[in-house]
Structure 1
């Protein structure tokens, strides 16, 4: 009887140890499952946030590209509008009428007052100055006669810069012809470059002309 109780006690102890070990392993498995679930939740949260950031970034980039395209299109349209407004044909011809036989003051601009042609409205007879309405390559010509003995010194200027000069002596004629580029708004005129008055013939025999050769 004593031996059977001892054997029974051993069996009970072994069963208790077995149950304890199984419960411990079950607890560890459950803990690991919980940890895995939490990790999956964290990964899902990170993936969701990354997708949101990626979507917002893509939206911002698309908005920036659209703004850039609108700005570029607007600038191009503005350039096209300016190009359309700028005349493609520019030419003028003006003659000196008065005095028929007289003089031009020292360092004075010659005012060719009789306009024969002025396509593009660049020439101003009140000032004797041609103002370029558009950027391009231009050709200009001026011709004049000396009305008395002595010298007639005329120069052609671009914004105060002397571009070409010619001299006439004792009732003879001079001619200036030159080609150069102008920006829109540049000014061209003919001027007495001598430090004293010079004789000049009007009556339509002295003229100033210019034309746009190539628009740039």
Structure 2
């Protein structure tokens, strides 16, 4: 582009100088034609031919100048078109960026909402073992089992002093228990929801000093205030020590 502009300026300068030279040259020819003698006719004719050639050269230079101007105008038009296209692309990118910012803001709001919901959601989980005392039972009456060795009690829904788990909110809960016996005879537990027995699990141990195990789990829909506890039936026995053979655990799956 700089070369083209420089060439244009050079041509414009030459054209201006040529116009002046051409005007001066014609005046001189006219003056010579009036004052020359016939013997100088050949010289005058040669000069006229030279002047005509010079005029033709400047005509071609003017045409070249016009061509350069047209080229510059065309390039300028192309540049304007490209600039307009760039502006449109910039506008498009700005629109896309604004959309991304909106989506990011929406995502951040959703994350904040989920964090608030998670913080407000009750957290309930407990795990406890029965005793270190060894054999419990057999007794003449049913005995509520108090799992006194508490390892986890998030939400404090389990009370080791009573052996009761109380649902703090309405929801679906997963409850589990394990039972181990070390004496001959029957071993097992009842599962109570409030005052209603909802499960009875038992195992017969045919030999003394031979361990017998079983485990079970429940998924229950509970309302706030519902209580779950385990009972050792009369005449039956179970065994626990520092190895935590008999356990009771549960957790809230989701609220309703």
For normalisation by structure 2, the TM-score amounts to 0.48
As a proportion of its length, which structure holds more helix? 2
**1:60-71 residue pairs with structure 2 within 5 A?**
none
Q: Say if 1:145 and 1:173, in contact at 8 Å, map to a contact too.
A: yes
* Offset at residue 100 of structure 1 (A): 1.7
1:110 & 1:104 partners in 2: Cα distance? 13
1:89 pairs with 2:89: no
Residue 85 of structure 1: how far off its partner (Å): 9.9
5 Å matches for 1:122-161?
Answer: 122-161=157-196
Cα distance, 1:123–1:179 mapped onto 2, change above 3 Å: same
After superposition, the C-alpha distances for 1:26-66 in whole angstroms (9 at most, x for unaligned) are xxxxxxxxxxxxxxxxxxxxxxxxxxxxxxxxxxxxxxxxx
Structure 1 stretches of 5 or more lacking a match? 1-82
| CA 108–86 in structure 1, closer or farther in 2 if over 3 Å, else same | farther
Using the TM superposition, give the Cα deviation of residue 157 of structure 1 relative to its aligned residue in structure 2, in angstroms. Answer: 1.0
| Structure 1 position 115, deviation (Å) | 0.4
Cα distance in 2 between the residues matched to 1:159 and 1:112: 17
The answer to whether the 8 Å contact 2:188/2:237 transfers is: no
Structure number with larger C-alpha Rg = 2
The runs of at least 4 aligned residues of structure 1 exceeding 6 Å deviation read 83-86
Distance 1:86 1:174, change over 3 A: farther
Distance 2:200 2:127 in 1: 19
Tell me, in whole angstroms, the C-alpha distance in 1 between the residues paired with 2:179 and 2:226: 24
Selected match of 1:183 from 223, 232, 242: 223
The question of whether the paired residues in 2 share the 8 Å contact of 1:102 and 1:147 is answered with no
Q: Show the counterpart of 2:203.
A: 168
TM-score, with normalisation over the residues of structure 1? Answer: 0.56
Partner of 2:151: 116
Structure 2 residue 236 is matched with structure 1 residue 198 = yes
CA RMSD between the two structures: 2.1
1:209–1:114 distance in 2 versus 1, CA, 3 Å: same
Counterpart secondary structure, 1:153: strand
Shift of 1:103: 2.0
Contact persistence 1:91–1:120 (CA under 8 A)? yes
Shift of 1:156: 1.1
Q: Cα distance 1:162–1:85, how it changes in 2: closer, same or farther (>3 A)?
A: farther
- Contact kept? 1:132, 1:184, Cα under 8 Å: yes
Provide the C-alpha distance between the structure 2 equivalents of 1:147 and 1:199, rounded to a whole number of angstroms. 8
How far has the Cα of 1:96 moved from its partner? 0.9
Show the 5 A alignment for 1:15-34.
none
Does the residue aligned with 2:143 lie in a helix, a strand or coil? coil
